Every structure is written in structure tokens, then in C-alpha cells.
Amino acid sequence: MIMEKHQKIATILSNQNIQGDYYKAVFQVEDIPRLAQPGQFIHLLLPDFQQHVLRRPFSIYDTAPEQNKLSIIYKVVGEGTSKLASLAADTQIDMLGPLGTPFSPLPADTVIVAGGYGCAATFLAAKLAPQKPTVLIGGRSKLDILLKDEYEALGCKVLISTDDGSMGTKGLVTSLLPQIPQINWLISCGPIPLLKALAGIMEQQRIPGELSLDKAMCCGVGACFACVTKVKAENADGWRYARVCKEGPVFPADQLVF
Ligand SMILES: Cc1cc2nc3c(=O)[nH]c(=O)nc-3n(C[C@H](O)[C@H](O)[C@H](O)COP(=O)(O)OP(=O)(O)OC[C@H]3O[C@@H](n4cnc5c(N)ncnc54)[C@H](O)[C@@H]3O)c2cc1C
Ligand code: FES
């Protein structure tokens, strides 16, 4: 399937801290909101940031296509995201997107498992689902629990876990899974250890679904092979490299080799 993508100049409408190290940015931009599908991402070229010419990838959190609006949720972790957090409303920014392979439509009795800013990558899938999924959100502490109210406003049941017990159940987010009576499909975005644990559980319990990988990227469009991950293959090794930016970031859970 050939995905249409665009390089556009977007205008920042707002860019605000929402909690802890997390920010929400809302952009006005043509075409990309209309084309965006759940799980896809944008690649931002930060202005006046010449020491880092590479773009930075962010999941598309939400869109309002009729208003040409698109938003992301991001965590400040380094120079690029610090620069992004410093940009004021009305700043213009070069945006490439939508990129990557989206999540499949969610069937009934889907569970979303999201860690940290992974909540942003799965939000549009929940928004578009005719039967709302149950959402399990995990984080280190309550400051890492994002979008609980937004998922609940969609009609999703939300369960929370934190490593330190400061919100919801104390422990790993996977420990919440036994509370769900029926799981027909599971999707997730979060840190690699979470995705690896989920892939094991899904294989053991025969739960089909898709996982979205977060890998450091360069070109973002399949040209440089900086973002590869191992996937199963019918060759002598049993695996091959796939480009996360092009064949992913969303992969069938049973295809990934961790
Ligand atoms: C498909 C995709 C979707 C993403 N969606 C989001 C999102 O919705 N919100 C969000 O906050 N972030 C998201 N990220 C991660 C985000 O792109 C990185 O955090 C950002 O590029 C870091 O830039 P920096 O210059 O601030 O950090 P750098 O100075 O480049 O790095 C700072 C630290 O972050 C680590 N890091 C850098 N890139 C990544 C990465 N891709 N994954 C994990 N660790 C990384 C580095 O190893 C280093 O430890 C996504 C990444 C991908 C590939
Ligand atoms: S980032 Fe260049 S191929 Fe994926």
C-alpha cells in the first residue's frame, strides 16, 4: 500500500507543559491531519537547530482535519525536545508526514496497553473504534500517567498502574491484564521491555495484536536503515531486518524478534 505523505510548513498554535516533563503541542498544517491514521507519526525539523540537522519523530496524538489541526504529546529527554519545548505559538516548523504503517482498526474487546508517551500513539485508534477498548496505562510514577481523562471521555474504561504506587495499582502495567475478562485483540506502544513482555504474554495466551516500536531514526522514510529491528522471516536465520519508519512503527506482535 502506498501511503501519501507531505512536507509542509506547520504553525504552532499552542505548546504547553501538561505535567512533569511532558508537553502538548498543537499545530495548524494542511493535508497531514486529513491523511493521518492511528499509529502514524510526523517528523519535525526543528528551526534554528543547526547542530542537529536530523528530524525528530513524534506519534500523531490527535487530529481535527476539518480545522487542519494535529497534536502531539512529547517528553523532554534531550536537546531536540528541549528546543521544541521552547518554541512559542506562531512559530513555523517543517513537518513531514504522516509516516509509517498504522494500527489496524480495533475490533470489539480490544485492550490497549500504553506506557508513558506511548498513550499518544494509541489514542486515535481508540477514538475511531466503534466499540471502545479498555486502556491500561502504566508509568514510573503518577507524573508519567498521561491522557487518563481523555481516554475516559472517549468512553474507554481505564486502569492505571505505577511502579512506585503513587497512582493506581503498584507494579507493572502487565499485572493489570488478568483483570480483563475477554481480550480479542491487544495493541501497545511503550518502552521496549514492556513490548517484549507483552509479546511473550500474547504468544503464551494466543492473543493477536500489534505493537508500535519507538526506535531512534534518521531519515524517517525508509532510505537510511538507521531504525532497523529484527522480524521473523522464512530464511536460514529465521529473521531479517525491517525498517521501523517504513514497515513499522506498528508490527504484528507475532512477527517481532526481541
Ligand atoms: C515512531 C516514533 C514515535 C515517537 N513518538 C513520540 C511521542 O509521541 N512523544 C515523545 O515524547 N517521543 C516520541 N518518540 C521519541 C522521540 O522521537 C525522541 O524522544 C526524540 O527524538 C529525542 O530527541 P532529543 O534531541 O530530545 O533527544 P536526544 O538528545 O537525541 O536523545 C536524548 C535521549 O533520548 C534517547 N532517545 C532518542 N531518540 C529516542 C527514541 N526514538 N526512542 C527512545 N529513546 C530515544 C537517546 O538515546 C538519549 O538517551 C517517538 C519516536 C519514534 C521513533
Ligand atoms: S530512519 Fe532511515 S530507514 Fe528508517
DSSP codes, 85-138: HTPPTT-EEEEEEEESBPPPPP-TTEEEEEETTHHHHHHHHHHH-SSPPEEEEE
pLDDT at 206 over 90: yes
Atom of ligand 2 at shortest range from CA of 218: 1
Instruction: Report d(CA 251, CA 258) in Å as an integer.
Output: 12
Decide whether any atom of ligand 2 lies within 6 Å of the 216 Cβ.
Answer: no
- pLDDT of res. 4: 77
Quick: pLDDT tens for 137-164: 999 999 999 999 999 999 999 999 999 9
pLDDT at 1 over 80: no
pLDDT band per the 50, 70, 90 thresholds, residue 47: confident
pLDDT at 67 over 60: yes
Angle subtended at Cα 87 by Cα 86 and Cα 91, rounded to the nearest 5 degrees: 170
Instruction: Report d(CA 18, CA 28) in Å as an integer.
Output: 19
- pLDDT of res. 155: 98
User: From the CA atom positions of the chain, what is the Rg in Å?
Assistant: 18
pLDDT at 118 over 90: yes
pLDDT band per the 50, 70, 90 thresholds, residue 50: low
The domains found in the chain, sorted by start residue, are 6-99 (2.40.30.10), 110-212 (3.40.50.80)
pLDDT band per the 50, 70, 90 thresholds, residue 8: very high
Looking at every residue in the chain, the average pLDDT score rounds to 95
Q: Where does ligand 1 bind, in terms of residues with CB under 6 Å? A: 41, 56-59, 72-75, 77-81, 117, 120-121, 214-217, 249
Quick: pLDDT tens for 25-35: 999 999 999 99
Exposed, middle or buried: residue 149 (CB in 10 Å: 0-12, 13-18, 19+)?
exposed
Distance 215 CA to ligand 2 centre (A): 10
Average pLDDT over residues 230-247: 96
- pLDDT of res. 53: 67
The ligand that comes nearest to the alpha carbon of residue 45 is: 1
Average pLDDT over residues 125-146: 97
Average pLDDT over residues 70-81: 96
